Amino acid sequence: IKEVSNLYIIIALLALGVLIIVHELGHFIMAKVNGVYVEEFSLGMGPKIFGFKGKETEYTIKAFPIGGYVKMLGEDEVVEGDKKAFCNKSPLQRISIIIAGPLMNFLFAIIVFSVITMNKGYVTNIVNGLIPNSPAESIGIDVGDKIIGINEKKISTWQDLTTEIYVSNGESLNIIVDRNGEEKNFNVKPYFNEEEQRYLVGVEPRTVADPTFIESVKQSCKEIKSLVIQTYVALKSLITGHGSLQDLGGPVSIVKISGAAAKAGIWNFLNFVAYLSLQLAVLNLLPFPALDGGWTVILLIELISRRKVNDKIVGTLNYIGFSILILLMILVTIKDILFPIKI
CA distances (Å), 128 to each of 131, 142, 144, 201, in order? Answer: 10, 9, 6, 14
CA distances (Å), 182 to each of 145, 186, 201, 224, 301, in order? Answer: 10, 13, 21, 28, 46
Q: How far apart are CA 219 and CA 124, in angstroms?
A: 9
Active site residues: 24
Q: How far apart are CA 43 and CA 64, in angstroms?
A: 9
